[in-house]
């Protein structure tokens, strides 16, 4: 009988034939809509410039139920990216440094509680027919 013990007990043993195993690491990207009104803690952020020179913030998080994930936001006037930029600037005393496109993201450990999860604003941008959505970290209810 073949030895079925390997580092991945949830996967078939015959996938592991003794050759080097390589694995993609990191958290799966999650749709921000799944975080509306769901408490979570942002545990790490990365600031990056993407295609078309758009600024993004990536945020690793853990939900109140213990499940984790990552989301990204590219809001330019308001929204999660702008909120995290402002929190960073106020608390670190410097603006965040965005990694140029094509370079590896630099992750920073943080603790940003979203006690009431995200909130969403739907609107129709000028000159368009389709609705757009902006997501925000919901205020904690304290001044």
* Domain count of the fold of the chain: 1
Which pLDDT tens digit goes with each residue over 12-67? Answer: 877 777 777 777 778 889 999 999 999 999 999 999 999 889 999 999 999 999 99
Domain of residue 39, residue span: 27-137
Spatial neighbors of 30 by CB under 8 A, at least 6 apart, are 69, 70, 71
Structure tokens at 24: 């993609």
CB distance 120 to 135 below 8 Å = yes
Residue 32 to residue 136: CA distance in whole angstroms: 10
In a domain, 4, yes or no: no
- Output the CA angle 33-55-82, nearest 5 degrees: 60
In a domain, 76, yes or no: yes
In a domain, 121, yes or no: yes
Question: Cα–Cα distances in Å, from 64 out to 41, 57, 85, 136?
Answer: 8, 21, 24, 18
In a domain, 120, yes or no: yes
Residue 59 to residue 142: CA distance in whole angstroms: 23
Model confidence, pTM: 0.81
Which pLDDT tens digit goes with each residue over 85-142? Answer: 999 999 999 999 999 999 999 999 999 999 999 999 988 878 888 888 899 999 877 7
Structure tokens at 109: 């450990």
In a domain, 104, yes or no: yes
């Amino acid at each position: 009988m073949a030895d079925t013990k390997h580092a991945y007990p949830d996967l078939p043993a015959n996938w592991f034939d003794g050759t080097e195993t390589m694995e993609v690491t990191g958290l799966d990207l999650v749709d921000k809509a799944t975080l509306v009104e769901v408490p979570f803690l942002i545990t790490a952020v990365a600031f990056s410039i993407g295609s078309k020179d758009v600024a993004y913030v990536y945020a690793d998080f853990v939900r109140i139920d213990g499940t984790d994930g990552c989301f990204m936001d590219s809001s330019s006037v308001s929204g999660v990216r702008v909120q995290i930029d402002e929190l960073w600037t106020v608390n670190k005393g410097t603006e965040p440094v965005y990694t140029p496109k094509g370079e590896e993201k630099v992750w920073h450990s943080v603790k940003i509680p979203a006690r009431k999860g995200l909130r969403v604003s739907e609107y129709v941008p000028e000159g368009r027919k389709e609705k757009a959505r902006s997501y925000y970290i919901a205020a904690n209810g304290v001044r």
